[in-house]
Every structure is written in structure tokens, then in C-alpha cells.
């Protein structure tokens, strides 16, 4: 397996009121010798301060825009800093930093533009059956509407090349950004791979924003996004 050059690898973390876990997440990612940028989406707690003290580059939105917008801000910053590969990573400790480098290596080996994490190829811990059902419906929905055959959708763990990031911009500010990126991949025939990842659902992450009702919200955002284009 080729050795990855990680000097230009940037991990982008969008964070909103994540003071409880942000330090731990950043410290675990920094152990991989990568650059980390945290975009604080106008948190009302000490997320910004804790992220900065933990050694990340820190940006702050003066108003709350949503996860999609925060990721795009972080990606643009990373590109300005010369990033060649960009990872999107959740702030709530669901993802495993040990999988960043293997995912990057898989991306390079397959000459792909984007590697999408798949919890159904990998492992999941403590996933509720409701969550599993919603995700399975979303997979079928994506297959029908986007024509893209995936084993997982709405997984925030991705590795992207600089070329991909220069061409693709998240316009969906909130949760529908995950569908937006899949639509782009399908429409532009982007070379992608799926990579098995581990997702650990904790009580904290479920409380933070993993409600099944979010699926309806995503659907509404997509519909409104198409109407108001």
C-alpha cells in the first residue's frame, strides 16, 4: 500500500455547541499529524475557545447557518491554506480518526475524487432500529432520484481531493448538503469509492442531532432548494 503524504491533508469539522466533546475529537484527530480546521457555527457555548485551545485552526460564523455552510467555509479555508485532500469529520465523536489515513490511501489507490464513508460496509455501535430504517429508506430514495448506488447516505465522513472541492460547493446550508453532494457525484459522473467506517452512536450524539424526524426536514430542504433555485 502506498504511503500517504499527509502534510497537505486537512480535516474540516463543523461544530455547533460542541464544547463537551470538541477538545477530545480534535486531540484524537491531531494525533494523526494532520491539520484541523474547526468552523464554529455561532455556538452559544465555549466551542470556539476549546477548539482553539486544542490546537485547531478556528473560524467562527457570526450567525448560525447550518452544517453544510460551515463545512463549505472550512473547505474554502483549507483550500486557501494549500490543502490537497480534505476530510469532513463530525464533531460529536461518532467517527474514528484511525480511519482517516486508510481512507485517504484507498482514495489514492483507486484514483477517485471522493471517498464516502459507509457505516453499512463497516461497523456501527448502538444504532437504533428507527435510525437504521430511515437510512435504508434514504438509500433507496437516493438510488431512485439520484441514480447512484450506495450502501450508505448521509454519512459525514468523507475524503475529497482538491480538484473535487474546487468544482463542488455546498449550496444547501443545512442538513440536505449530504444529498447535494451525492446528486453532484451522480450528475457529473465523479469517480467515487465507498470505504467502510465505524460509527459509534453515543447518548450525546443522538441527543445532539440524530433524530429520525430530520429525514423529513432534509426532504423539505431539498424540495425548497429546487423550487427556489
Partner 1 sequence: MILATFLTLLFCFMAIYSVVFINKVFVRSILLISYFASVYFIWNPDTTTTIAHYFGIGRGLDFILVLLSVIIINALIIIARHLNSQYQSITLLTRHIAIRDARESNSLKKIDNLNEDIECS
Residues in the chain: 229
Q: Which one, 50 or 119, has the nearer CB to partner 1?
A: 50
Helix and strand totals (H; E) in the chain = 9, 7
| C-alpha torsion angle, residues 155, 44, 51, 214 (rounded to 10) | 0
Beta-bridge partner residues of 158: 88, 116
State whether the Cα torsion 184-186-187-191 is positive or negative: positive
Is residue 137 at the binding interface for partner 1, with CB under 8 A as the rule?
A: no
Is residue 34 at the binding interface for partner 1, with CB under 8 A as the rule?
A: no
Is residue 146 at the binding interface for partner 1, with CB under 8 A as the rule?
A: no
C-alpha cell at 185: 457525484
Contact between 212 and 131 (Cβ < 8 Å): yes
The least distance separating partner 1 from the CB of residue 219, rounded to whole angstroms, comes to 16
Q: Which one, 38 or 148, has the nearer CB to partner 1?
A: 38
From residue 212, how far is each of 11, 147, 207, 220 by CA, in Å?
27, 24, 11, 14
Of residues 9, 21, 29, 65, which one binds partner 1 by CB under 8 A?
65
Beta strands 114-125; 35-40: pairing state: unpaired
Is residue 219 at the binding interface for partner 1, with CB under 8 A as the rule?
A: no
Question: Stretches 9-17, 61-69, 143-151, 192-200: which one binds partner 1 (CB under 8 A)?
Answer: 61-69
Contact between 19 and 43 (Cβ < 8 Å): yes
Question: Stretches 14-22, 48-56, 189-197, 198-206: which one binds partner 1 (CB under 8 A)?
Answer: 48-56
Q: Write the interaction track for partner 1 spanning residues 163-182; mark x where CB under 8 A is met and - where it is not.
A: --------x-x---------
Of residues 11, 14, 59, 100, which one binds partner 1 by CB under 8 A?
59
Question: Stretches 30-38, 87-95, 119-127, 149-157: which one binds partner 1 (CB under 8 A)?
Answer: 30-38
Number of residues that bind partner 1 (CB under 8 A): 29
Contact between 48 and 58 (Cβ < 8 Å): yes
Contacting positions for partner 1 (CB under 8 A):
30, 35-36, 39, 52-53, 55-63, 65, 69, 72-73, 76-77, 80, 171, 173, 224-225, 227-229
Amino acid at each position: 500500500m502506498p504511503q500517504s503524504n499527509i502534510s497537505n491533508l486537512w480535516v474540516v469539522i463543523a461544530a455547533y455547541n460542541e464544547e463537551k466533546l470538541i477538545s477530545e475529537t480534535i486531540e484524537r484527530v491531531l494525533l494523526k499529524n494532520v491539520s484541523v480546521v474547526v468552523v464554529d457555527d455561532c455556538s452559544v457555548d465555549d466551542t470556539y475557545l476549546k477548539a482553539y485551545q486544542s490546537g485547531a485552526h478556528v473560524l467562527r460564523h457570526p450567525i448560525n447557518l447550518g452544517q453544510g455552510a460551515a463545512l463549505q467555509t472550512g473547505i474554502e479555508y483549507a483550500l486557501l491554506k494549500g490543502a490537497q485532500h480534505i476530510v469532513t469529520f463530525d464533531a460529536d465523536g461518532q467517527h474514528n480518526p484511525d480511519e482517516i489515513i486508510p481512507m485517504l490511501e484507498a482514495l489514492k489507490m483507486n484514483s477517485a475524487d471522493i471517498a464516502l464513508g459507509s457505516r453499512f460496509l463497516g461497523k456501527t455501535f448502538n444504532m437504533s432500529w428507527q435510525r437504521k430504517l430511515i437510512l435504508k429508506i434514504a438509500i433507496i430514495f437516493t438510488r431512485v432520484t439520484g441514480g447512484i448506488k450506495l450502501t450508505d447516505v448521509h454519512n459525514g465522513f468523507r475524503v475529497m481531493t482538491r480538484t473535487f472541492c474546487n468544482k463542488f460547493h455546498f449550496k444547501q446550508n443545512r442538513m440536505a448538503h449530504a444529498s447535494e453532494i451525492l446528486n453532484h457525484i451522480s450528475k457529473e459522473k465523479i469517480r467515487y469509492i465507498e470505504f467502510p467506517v465505524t460509527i459509534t452512536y453515543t447518548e450525546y450524539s443522538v441527543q445532539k442531532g440524530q433524530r429520525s424526524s430530520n429525514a423529513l426536514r432534509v426532504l423539505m430542504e431539498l424540495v425548497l432548494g429546487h423550487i427556489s433555485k
